[in-house]
Amino acid sequence: MITIPYLTALTTYFSYGLLFAFGQLRDFFRKIVDWWSHNSLQGYAPICLGLEDFYIRRLYLRIQDCFNRPISSPPDAWFDVVERISNDNNKTLKRTTRVNRCLNLGSYNYLGFGAADEYCTPRVIESLKKFSPSTCSARVDGGTTTLHTELEECVANFVGKPAAVVFGMGYATNSAILPVLTGKGGLIISDSLNHNSIVNGARGSGATIRVFQHNTPSHLEKVLREQIADGQPRTHRPWKKIIVVVEGIYSMEGELCKLPEIISICKKYKAYVYLDEAHSIGAVGKTGRGVCELLGVDTADVDIMMGTFTKSFGSCGGYIAGSKELIQYLKYTCPAHLYATSISPPAAQQIISSIKVILGEDGSSRGAQKLAKIRENSNFFRSELQKMGFEVLGDNDSPVMPIMLYNPAKIPAFSRECLKRNVAVVTVAFPATPLLLARARICISAAHTREDLIKALEVMSIVGDMVGVKYFPAEPKKQQLEGVKLD
Amino acid sequence: MDTMFSAFETMVKSVSDWVTLAFDRPSARAIVFGVPIKGHLLVEGLLFVVILFLLSQKSYKPPKRPLTKKEVDELCDEWVPEPLIPSITEEMKYEPPVLESAAGPHTVINGKDVVNFTSADYLGLLGHDKLQESCTKALEKYGVGSCGPRGFYGTIDVHLDCEARIAKFLGTSDSILYSYGLSTMFSTIPAFCKKGDVVVVDEGVHWGIQNGLHLSRSTIIYFKHNDMESLQSILENVTHANKRTKKLRRYIVVEAVYQNSGQIAPLDEIVKLREKYRFRVILDESNSIGVLGSSGRGLTEHCKVPIENVDIVTAAMGHALATEGGFCTGSARVIDHQRLSSSGYVFSASLPPYLASAAITAIDVLEGNPNLITKLKENIATLRKGLLDVQGLEIVSDPESPIVFLTLKKSTGSIKGDLQVLQDIGDYLLKEHSIFVATSKRSTVDKCKLPAGIRLYISAAHTKTDLEKACESFKKATAVVLADQ
């Protein structure tokens, strides 16, 4: 859990209060100006009511240049960030033709498959020639090609389950599967920091939703006992089924889920476990098979395993893996399988090839090298950042590292100063994180070399001093040197 | 002892004298029903004391006892959940045929060449040279995936070019790209329709729209499929029922060409109703972009309605544009709002760059070859003419729609039964005549109640021989399969 220092909390509240007050003042003047001018659509309610986009207009637009930065090269370890200029104080941004070659610390490129790869790309282009970029048809009609069946077998094998089904988008996988698994009369218990797609899927299902404290198995047990004893709200009938939804690695915290304890609790109370491995599949574990391998959990204990291919495999799409009966049922009822266009064949080929590389079936040891590199890189980077005095979240072995910033003014300062020195970082604020806990999030890739990481560390140290985010005392240099010598 | 006894005796005597006095006093006498009652005042006094005593008691409440740990344990042990999925029936084991080549107008299944009517590739752009070239170039330059959401370095210059190209093609100020066709609608609608708003929607819309409306928590009113009078009466009722019309947002959601029935929505009438009752229109043009209108700009061009009169236009690109993903277009305010509040855009990885460049090339090809649209229209007319006299099946779709929807003339009585018969026709066509068609399958979470049928997607790349062969085969297939009915 993050505990914010008292003084920092005060200054953050003060900054937000000031921004809010200024925003209200400007809105007031805008209302007066609008009253005089003529509005084109009379009689219609405005499409966005006043206070809904207050945050966007008055707070977000000021720092708009830190987000949505376009790139003009593949998202590899080094990429080209397109420069944008604004003539009206950040309200609109225009692209220029100038590009900046920057170190990429923001893309989800965990194993380095983000750019053209020597093994995968020729095979992808071949499949493009054979199957064309789309099938223009739903899986159940005429969108299943031999590539799709091969892909599903490959994924099921890799994850360690009897069968799998693949969809074209990870977000839609969650949104379309949860309504099928449970409906009214069921209970979904989800972690408080779950991703938006899970929240949307749970709401779309019509089941009752309860939340348990982030990564706290004891609180999960308490909630389960209460809910089973109480039954459905108002009628107190027993629940039809209970599904507990957790994620492998939480993308905003970088933490691993406490999977063994959660599974033992769910077994005791007969609840089903749904594991979302969007960030952990392919990135953690000895052979890249995700948190189950890393934490020593048998995949047969997890009822439904879900994941996406965007992060470690350099492609797009999502999958669900489970027992043969579960997959047959999903293929019969899931709307994403019955109505949506099937996954693009070149993207499917990319996944198959990258899984082959990871497992070493392409004849080289690149896969094992990549996995070792990303573990080494993450641990090195995290320990160095902590030594410098940054407040870094997340567990060891996790390639996602959030660095706490807290104050709203530090967000654009950190982002812009790093960009000036050719390092591209991602900063996240409200509403993706709680209001006070703004952070910068680093994603390490297997494509980063040791020199890249050292350069990044230098830049971040300078910028961190400038902006003032080193909340912890740094280890003195002499101790660091001694530490290195002992190694 | 004696004195105590005599004192006690005097006390008793004085009390009894007093009581006799109380009983014999004139006011203490009463005659009730002819019977004299003595001393009723005393009784009333005693009753009064008893009443006071009872009122001062606390009322009885059963004590609150929370469940003990042992009881909770027992309840947890007794509870038996339903199985995660219901037991598998025969129809759930259905596997669709597997294609061994690209899904164009002709494809290879089980080594045989079949005529393919399941692919929504209306303009025949699948396998087009220019598309393949631009995709190959993009794959070599950018790899496959974009490795990030749009806000965090997932915006590649091809995305911005694609958005600008779509906006230029349709004549709007801006557009926004989504990475999946199905997610376009269920992300756009919750960004604009909030709790308390009123949405009037056709009952035949597809699942993406239904899910989006459910997530938006607005008040949803369905009107009869493609029936303008039903729509008008509902709009009347809503306008009169609600007095706070200034703050209330009201929307009409329709599809240009309905996926579930092939009907075309009469946009000119809808726009007239929009202006009369002050509702905003959200239009889903997935199956009409590149098909309707003289230059393929969709239903707005077909019905001669300026696109500014439709507030929000969405479309999935997995149909005529032969690529994947979706887009939404409209005024600048509408699009800018979605860049931060549309969940499928903000929280999901962006479209792979090669698919975006395929979309740009597809629009370029469409603009340069308007004869593709005329060819498509000819093909639709030819197929419809040929299928008019097929026994047992009737065409329910609009004459201009690229989806030809055939339903059973005589229904078996249940949706399952209908689907079984249609599936038999489809299997027979594939096995005996090498024609690949699809029946419309419904998910269990889909609320649409329109009848099931066979859906034929016509493409501009189908040749005359293909279409004639299909008509012949249909006549033979229905003769065989429906003869058993």
- The predicted model gives B370-374 an average pLDDT of 90
ω into A431 cis (within 30 of 0): yes
Mean pLDDT of B458-472: 89
Beta carbons within 10 angstroms of residue A6's beta carbon? 8
For residue B97, pLDDT beyond 90: no
Nearest CB among B151, B215, B246 relative to A200 is that of B215
Subunit contact B153:A134, Cβ cutoff 8 A: no
* Residue of A358, A284, A344 whose CA lies nearest to A315: A344
Question: Which ipTM did the prediction report?
Answer: 0.89
Whether residue B315 has pLDDT greater than 60: yes
Statement: residue B100 has pLDDT above 60: yes
Could you tell me which chain B residue has the CA closest to the CA of A425? B152
Q: What is the pLDDT of residues B42-96, one digit of tens each?
A: 888 899 999 999 888 877 777 777 888 888 888 888 888 888 888 888 878 888 8
Q: Concatenated DSSP letters for B116-145?
A: E-S---TT--TT-HHHHHHHHHHHHHH-S-
Greater pLDDT, B186 or B449: B186
Distance of CA B73 to the CA centre of its chain: 41
State the pLDDT at residue B178.
Answer: 93
Map tokens 């070659």 to a residue. A101
Contact B82 A195 (CB under 8 A): no
B252 close contact with A: CB closer than 8 A: no
Residues of chain A falling short of pLDDT 70? 1-2, 37-52, 476-487
Residue A54 touches partner B, C-beta closer than 8 Å: no
Is the CB of residue B19 less than 8 Å away from at least one CB of chain A? no
Residue B118 sits at the chain A interface (C-beta within 8 Å): yes
Residue B422, pLDDT score:
86
Chain B nearest CA to A104, separation (Å): 9
- pLDDT attached to residue A4: 78
User: What does residue B362 show for φ and ψ, rounded to 5 degrees?
Assistant: -60, -40
Quote the tokens at residue A339.
């109505």
- pLDDT for A247: 92
Select from B75, B96, B155 the Cβ nearest to the Cβ of A229.
B75
**Token pair recorded at residue B353:** 């760059």
Interface touch B445/A132, C-beta < 8 Å = no
Query: What's A57's DSSP letter?
Result: I
Bridge-based pairing of strands A318-322 and A70-71 is unpaired
Nearest CA to A395 among A180, A248, A192?
A: A248
What's A161's DSSP letter? Answer: S
User: Which residues 374-403 of B have a C-beta within 8 angstroms of A?
Assistant: none
Q: Using an 8 Å Cβ cutoff, are A122 and A350 in contact?
A: no
In angstroms, the separation between the Cα of residue A57 and the nearest Cα of chain B is: 10
- Answer positive or negative: Cα dihedral of B278, B209, B415, B478: positive
| Tokens read off for A243 | 């599904």
Please report the pLDDT score of residue B243 as a whole number.
Answer: 64
Does B147 lie at the interface with A, CB-CB under 8 angstroms?
A: yes
Which has the closest alpha carbon to A406: A393, A388, A420, A419? A393
A69 contacts in B (CB within 8 Å)? 153, 155
